[in-house]
Amino acid sequence: MKDVVLKIKGIQKNLDGEDNTIELITEGKFYKKNGAYYLVYEESEISGMEGSTTTLRIQDDKILMKRFGTSNSKLIFEKNKRHKTSYHTQYGDFDMEVMTNKIEVDISDLGKGSIKLSYRLVISNAVESNNQLTIDIS
């Protein structure tokens, strides 16, 4: 397991065209296990999920994002595939659907590189947004 620095940038655009951008730099852990890369980091107040731990499992052209703590979710990002899941928060449970448009992974065994995702998110068949997520690992 290696200590890494993660620069995370998320852009969320709602159907009215309004952008919401979140940027954060945090420390995390990187390791490789059974042919997959893993990134683990603690969420912060900036992301609105303080008290949660996020784990990314990156394998081939598929990324699994799990969050545990104050909010629990499991998102699967796989190009041109639709994945349904549940999002558990302190305010209640919501159904979510993720449709990934673009996934770019460029990570070395040394734990350096980047992840770029572009996806559509639908929550409880009502809230819809187009999202971009970039994670730079150093």
List pLDDT tens digits, range 38-81: 999 987 666 556 678 999 999 988 999 998 887 788 899 999 99
Homologous superfamily assigned to 2-137: Calycin beta-barrel core domain (2.40.128.20)
**What pTM was computed for the model?**
0.85
Domain spans in the chain, listed from the N-terminal domain onward? 2-137
pLDDT of residue 118: 96
Concatenating the DSSP letter of every residue in the chain gives -EEEEEEEEEEEEETT--EEEEEEEEEEEEEEETTEEEEEEE--GGGT-TT-EEEEEEETTEEEEEEESSSEEEEEEEBT-EEEEEEEETTEEEEEEEEEEEEEEEE-TTS-EEEEEEEEEEETTTEEEEEEEEEEE-
Whole-number mean pLDDT of the chain? 89
- pLDDT band per the 50, 70, 90 thresholds, residue 35: very high
Residue 30 has pLDDT above 70, yes or no: yes
Residue 124 has pLDDT above 60, yes or no: yes
- pLDDT band per the 50, 70, 90 thresholds, residue 119: very high
